[in-house]
Structure 1
Amino acid sequence: MIVEKLKRLKALFAEMEQALIAYSGGVDSTLVAKIAYDVMGDNTLAITAVSASFLPEELENAKLQAATIGICHQILETQEMKNPNYTSNPVNRCYFCKSELHDTLKLLGKNLGYPYIIDGVNADDLNEYRPGIQAAKERGVRSPLVEVNITKAEVRQLSQQLGLPWWNKPAQPCLSSRFPYGEEITASKLHRVGRAEVYLHKLGYKNLRVRSEGDTARIELPPETIQDFILNTDLPRLVNVLQDLGFIYVTLDLEGYRSGKLNQVFQ
């Protein structure tokens, strides 16, 4: 079945002939970039949008992955942080982020002669609360993984089969997702959350979140790693590092990491 889906995905790209890709460097958009480039070659262009909510380390990863694929890759800055509809952090914050992104990409695509803008939304994303998907639809963005009904698990399966070394890369949504709805988002808050997560990454914990609420940092780790973290981490040192970043309180979420946890307010 996965072989048939890959065949359909390639046929879809062959029909497009030329496309601009919204490429974050995540496993989904990177698979789209890989297959699109394999089919359309230099008629594809991967664009990574950067702002204060995008980790510099993730940009470097995106550059490396694009170079490995061979696809032409460009960086552009988006200005969602200038939009109070975004920084006030309403429940549909992502709508305003993706509106900014795809308005920018649509104009770029028009100027460069690309008839299609495509993204890395997969079939499972449709089952989650993602207001940004609506913004993309309103602007005519196509989601090839959705059109072929490829799930997140199948994205990883295909990536592994194609020999992509990042096939099991943890999801890394934008840093604004670390704040409870209604708390204002600022560049300084995004920076301290990002630096806190990078510090924990260097300790060997990759799939995690540092949730920020006021002056409190709440660390979320996979449940099976919590005991190891408590026993083997220099906790006073960790607290000092996060306090130096601007947090006052540092806590550990005993439930553990769960994707979309902040969306439980809708349940």
Structure 2
Amino acid sequence: MADITENQQIKYEKLKQYIKELGSVAVAFSSGVDSTFLLKAAHDVLGDNAIAVTARSCSFPKRELNEAVDFCKKEGIRHFICDSEELKIEGFAQNPKNRCYLCKHELFEEIKKIADENGIACIAEGSNMDDNGDYRPGLKAVAELGIKSPLRESKMTKDDIRALSKMLGLPTWNKQSFACLSSRFVYGETINEEKLGMVDKAEQFLLDMGFHQVRVRIHGMMARIEIEPAEFDKLMKEENRFKIVQEFKKYGFTYVTLDLLGYRCGSMNETLKDEEKR
């Protein structure tokens, strides 16, 4: 069993008590680090009164959907998959600054329908305390629709979640962070299925090469690769550089660049002014 701190144990007990008081819950499940941990905790506490709902769309890689399905089968969790095609949401494809709000609002309404049909009282999502420090318009939808955020209520950080996930034997404890593929686009640049596919294939190629934490940001037809600085040397090996460029051009990219700052969460938000984040 992995070591956890006393403070992490206290937060974990608080989380379980919070979930218990919900009575029944539908977890928005993406198979990521946070939602996997939340779903595991909810199912451990509530049993069949905890269900998982995963949205299938062109901005959600097939590998993530497959992992969600496999996890629920392994854990014996009731799992529902809904089609939530963001590109059909009015205004979404134009990639406005509140894109995430539009998406989350539609998604949680779909989850609510499934919850109501199955007699589930509450809906929960997996944001944590670290999400409070970045521009997260999706949290506005969470607040408006009364969605529960058990990990934030329990004051859990990403490090807490990873440590507790390791304690529980979850395979996601050291999984790379992930966000929907639409977050790879510059605000104002049109999002379409073709470019989403380009990003998906490019990131999968880097993952298959063994890079751990990756983002391929798209600027027109240019790819801006973000990886951990510790892996720069690997990417800069001549055979790897040429292999990546050759493959990315097959996907439709004209230019391929490396971001010298490396991977960072929400780097597209760096273009926003402070007043635009409010």
Normalised to the residue count of structure 2, the TM-score between the two structures is 0.92
Shift in CA distance, 233/60, structure 1 to aligned 2, threshold 3 Å: farther
Shift in CA distance, 11/119, structure 1 to aligned 2, threshold 3 Å: same
1:82-93 residue pairs with structure 2 within 5 A? Answer: 82-93=88-99
Q: CA deviation at 1:232?
A: 5.7
Q: Equivalent of 1:201, from 207, 211, 215? A: 207
Q: Secondary structure at the match of 2:34?
A: helix
Alignment check: 8 A CA contact 2:58 2:85 kept: no
Alignment check: 8 A CA contact 1:193 1:210 kept: yes
- Structure 2 residues not aligned, in runs of 5+: 1-6, 274-278
2: CA distance, partners of 1:264 / 1:177 = 13
Counterpart position of 1:218? 224
**RMSD in angstroms over aligned alpha carbons?**
1.3
* Alignment partner of 1:141 is 2:130: no
* Alignment partner of 1:154 is 2:155: no
Shift in CA distance, 181/122, structure 1 to aligned 2, threshold 3 Å: same
* Alignment partner of 1:228 is 2:234: yes
- Structure 1 residues not aligned, in runs of 5+: none
Shift in CA distance, 233/41, structure 1 to aligned 2, threshold 3 Å: farther
Q: Equivalent of 2:46, from 37, 40, 43? A: 40
1:1-267 residue pairs with structure 2 within 5 A? Answer: 1-231=7-237, 233-266=239-272
Normalised to the residue count of structure 1, the TM-score between the two structures is 0.96
Q: Deviations over 1:123-178 (max 9, x none)?
A: 11122110001101111100001111111110111101111122011111000111
Structure 1: 4+ residue segments shifted above 4 A: none
How much identity, in percent, do the aligned residues show? 42
1: CA distance, partners of 2:178 / 2:84 = 18
1: CA distance, partners of 2:105 / 2:140 = 9
Alignment check: 8 A CA contact 1:98 1:135 kept: yes
1: CA distance, partners of 2:49 / 2:203 = 36
Shift in CA distance, 248/97, structure 1 to aligned 2, threshold 3 Å: same
Q: How many positions carry a matched residue from both structures?
A: 267
1: CA distance, partners of 2:236 / 2:85 = 39
Q: CA deviation at 1:205?
A: 0.7
Q: CA deviation at 1:243?
A: 1.1
Shift in CA distance, 261/233, structure 1 to aligned 2, threshold 3 Å: farther
2: CA distance, partners of 1:13 / 1:234 = 47
Alignment check: 8 A CA contact 2:89 2:103 kept: no
Q: Deviations over 1:211-236 (max 9, x none)?
A: 10101111111111112211164323
Q: Which moved more, 1:174-183 or 1:237-246?
A: 237-246
Q: Which moved more, 1:62-71 or 1:188-197?
A: 62-71
Counterpart position of 2:276? none
Q: Deviations over 1:29-67 (max 9, x none)?
A: 111100100011011110111111000011112222223
1: CA distance, partners of 2:78 / 2:114 = 15
Shift in CA distance, 233/221, structure 1 to aligned 2, threshold 3 Å: farther
Q: Secondary structure at the match of 1:262?
A: helix
Q: Secondary structure at the match of 1:170?
A: coil
AA in 1 matched with 2:213: N
Q: Secondary structure at the match of 1:54?
A: coil
